[in-house]
Each structure stands twice: as structure tokens, then as C-alpha cells.
Structure 1
Amino acid sequence: MWGYLSLLPAFLALWAITGVWTVFALAVANRSVNLTEGFPYISLCGSYPPQSCIFSQLLNMGAAMAAWICIIRYHQLRDWGVGRWFNQVILWTGLLCALGTSVVGNFQQKNQLPVHLTGAFFALFVGNLYFWLQLFLFWWMKSLPQPGAPWIRPLRLGLCSLCTILMVAMVILHHWPLRSASAACEWAIAMLLFMLFGLFAVDFSCLDGCTLCLQPGPSLSPPPASPISLQVPL
């Protein structure tokens, strides 16, 4: 029985895939990009209004959902017995991916190129690393639960491998320069990462909900047992 939390990764994948192709369609329709000159990068499609506004909102909401998924995954892995140090490395890698996605949306390519490229690096390259760390974890700790069908794990391995190959190809093609082919690789990488996030729906299928528990931390100093009076000689 799938819990409602399993819908979040699936919704993120659907939201992101539909959203970026909508931005592409708007950019082509209002001639912000010219397909006769080559296939555009995702960021180029989202650099000009009105689709730049949609692009920013799309990626900001997507980044928020991705961060929430990473946090839920962290607590799930913790409950499965994953060590705190490695689990936190995975968590912060995922959060950097989410942060980079938001930066890409808010700092358009034509306005702040260095910041935009930094965000793209976190969103794509660190995002791919996040899923490789997940795979390494399950290879290293074979006792971890394996939700879903037996083909889910090989599918994730295939998607991560293809994503890495396309990243290398994207960088090489960009510097040759074969920009249209490089842009096509970027679009494929984005779709693969969205699919990998969506596959968390399988892992979250056993979750019915989550509860936030607050625990008091250690006090810096013990409270006084009784009121203290201060006498000042006159």
C-alpha cells in the first residue's frame, strides 16, 4: 500500500519534466530562441521574459521539493541503520543539488553567468553524485531493505551511468564547440535526474507519514534553584 509520501517524488518528476518543456515551448513560440540556429540549452530558454519568470518559480518549487525528499530519505536511511557520518554526507550532497537548482532559476544565464554556472554544477554534477552515493551505500550495506521490484536497482545503476556519460559528453561537445549536441546532452541529463528523484516513490511506498519530534538540548548552565538577590552597599 503506497503512502502519500510516495507521491512527492513522483509529483516532483512530473512537475519538473512538464515545466521545463513548457518553458522550452514558450521560448520557441515567442522566438526567444531560434531552432534554425541550433538546439538551445535549458538555461537559454529560461533567460528571457515571460518564460524566465515561470522558469524561476518552477525551479524554486522543484528545489524545495527536492530538499524535502532528501531530508525524508536521510531519516529513512537513519532508521535503516546507516551510519550518521555517511548519511549526512549524502544528505548535504542532495541539499547542494537542490540549492544549485534554485540558483540556476534565480540567476539567469544572461544576467549572472558565473553564479548561474556554479548553480548548474551543483544541480547537475553534484546531483548525479548524490545518486551514485545512494547506489554505493546499498552496494556496501547489503543488509539494507530493497523496496520495489528486483529491476529497480539495475535501472538506477543504468540511469546514473548514462547520466555520467552524458555529462562528460556535454563538456567535451561544448568545448569543441558542438553546442547543439551539448545542449541535447544537458536536456537528457536533466530528464534522467528527474527520473531518479521520481524513483524515490518506490522507497517511500512503505511510509504513511512523518512526525517531527523536538527534543530539548543540553542547557548551557543549570537554572538557579532559588531567586538570587543582589545587595548593593550604599
Structure 2
Amino acid sequence: MSRVYLLPVTVFLLFQITFICTYIAAILEGHVVPAVPYISDAATYSPESCVFGQLINLGSVLLGLTIYVRYRQVLELFGYHPDLGEQLLKLNKISVWFGIASCVGISFVANFQETNVRIVHFFGAFCCFGFGTLYFWMQSLISYILQPIAGTKLKAHLRIAMSVACTVLFVLLAVTGVISHILFKGTDPRKWYPSDGGWHYHVASSISEWIVATIFSFYILSFTDEFRDVHLGHPQMTLLPYSITI
């Protein structure tokens, strides 16, 4: 598999196309109002919810593969440059678990709608954005440690900037989301109007979600150039002696 760099590109395009097309479909079907609903709110009702769930599940798998490739890439670089230090290995091992937890959270958000299983939906959102942000911070630190062996210093700066933005937006998303849903409950979260109360908190929260989701996609896209130096072969398969018949 020589075109590994297409993995982050595919993840970026798949998520962005899914978000935008689901939103447009929900507007055309009259399931949400145009005033910036949450991404998942635009995928609550069928048929858009079916397409959204299927594509997001596929995207979470591809994202998990991307995270694994990055983990193996750093591991291989350490094998050639052990002077990078044991701290790199620790960060790499912890970050891959945070990344996988974020992928699981994305799948939860897509398959457990807020209107059906609210607790699981919110738990998935926390895993997605919370663990995803932690993964980005660790990868930003890894990017600096790998200098000048892999990547560029400019890209490391961009990753740390995106990590800071994700942290701020995640806190804003969580705080305004809690205020709007607990103190001000609209008659329908997917059709939240100013007259329902807490509308400004709802808009601030939903806009934060859209921006942080976009930054997530661009962060993953930033691995593209580094993955051009990666080649994956087919996994080895060994047959046990007793399974071979003569």
C-alpha cells in the first residue's frame, strides 16, 4: 500500500462532505431551521440520519486507520533515531489510545441520536471532542520532538495553534451547550427559535461545534505530506502445521 497519504485526504473529504450534505438535506426536508443546528441535529430524522450514520461509521474506521498509521510511523522513526528519547514512545502510546477513543465517540454520536439515547449521545460527543483534542495536543508535542527528522517546524506550529483553538472551542461548546439545554429548553432542539429562550447560547454552542469539527478535519489532513514517506505491506499470514492436509 504505497498511497497511504490518501488516508487523511479521504477522511477530510468524507467528513466535510457528510456534514455539509446532511445539513442541506435536513434543510430541504424541513427537519431543521437554517439557524445553525448542531451537526448531529441535522441527522436526527431519516433519510439523512441513515446516510449520516453509515458515512460517519466509515469515516471513524478510516480515521482509526490514519491514527494507527501515524502511531506506526512515529514508532519506526524512533527505531532509526533512538536518541529522540523514551518520552516520545510514551506520548505515542498514550496518544493512539486517545485517538481511538475519539473515533469510538464519533461512532456513538452518529448512531445514538440525542432524541433517542441522550446520555450515550452526549458521552460520545465528549469522547469525540475531548479525547480528540488531547490527541492533537500530544501529536503537536510529537511533531516538535521529531524536528528536523520528520515534518516541518511550520506544520508543528500550525498543529499547536489548532490544538489551542480546539481546546477553547471545546470548552465554549460544552459550557454554552449545558446552559442552553438545562436552563433554556427549546420546544425542539432542531428547530430552536429566539422566542424559545437561550437561543444565543444555542447558536454559540452549535457554531463552536461546526468550527471545531472543521479544525479536526484539517488537523488530520496535515498528516498527508508526512504519510508520503510511509509504505504499508500486506500483513504476514502463517498457517499452523496441523491445518495443512496432505
- State if a TM-score over 0.5 links the two structures: yes
Decide which of 159, 175, 183 is 2:162's aligned counterpart. 159
Name the CA distance, whole Å, in 1 between partners of 2:5 and 2:153.
Answer: 18
Describe the SS at the equivalent of 2:5.
Answer: helix
Decide which of 119, 137, 145 is 1:132's aligned counterpart. 137
Name the CA distance, whole Å, in 2 between partners of 1:86 and 1:150.
Answer: 19
CA deviation after TM superposition for structure 1 residue 106, in Å: 1.1
Name the CA distance, whole Å, in 2 between partners of 1:143 and 1:154.
Answer: 12
State the AA in 2 paired with 1:13: F
Describe the SS at the equivalent of 2:232.
Answer: coil
Name the CA distance, whole Å, in 1 between partners of 2:140 and 2:52.
Answer: 30
Q: Which stretches in structure 2 are left out of the alignment for 5+ residues?
A: 79-84, 181-200, 240-246
Name the CA distance, whole Å, in 2 between partners of 1:152 and 1:133.
Answer: 14
- Please identify which structure carries the higher helix content: 2
Q: Percent identity?
A: 27
The answer to whether structure 1 residue 203 and structure 2 residue 207 are counterparts is no
Instruction: Tell me the residue number matched to 2:172.
Output: 169
The answer to whether structure 1 residue 190 and structure 2 residue 213 are counterparts is yes
CA deviation after TM superposition for structure 1 residue 174, in Å: 2.2
Name the CA distance, whole Å, in 1 between partners of 2:236 and 2:70.
Answer: 16
Give RMSD over aligned pairs: 2.0
The answer to whether structure 1 residue 103 and structure 2 residue 108 are counterparts is yes
Instruction: Tell me the residue number matched to 2:242.
Output: none
- CA displacement, residues 105-141 of structure 1 (integer Å, 9 cap, x when unaligned): 11111111101111111111111110101112333x3
Alpha-carbon contact 1:138-1:144 (below 8 Å) kept: no
- In structure 2, the CA distance between the partners of 1:89 and 1:215, relative to structure 1 (3 Å rule), is farther
Number of equivalences:
210
Name the CA distance, whole Å, in 2 between partners of 1:73 and 1:14.
Answer: 19
TM-score by length of 1: 0.83
Name the CA distance, whole Å, in 2 between partners of 1:30 and 1:44.
Answer: 13
Alpha-carbon contact 1:39-1:181 (below 8 Å) kept: no
After TM superposition, the structure 1 stretch with the greater mean CA deviation from structure 2, 23-32 or 79-88, is 79-88
After TM superposition, the structure 1 stretch with the greater mean CA deviation from structure 2, 184-193 or 153-162, is 153-162
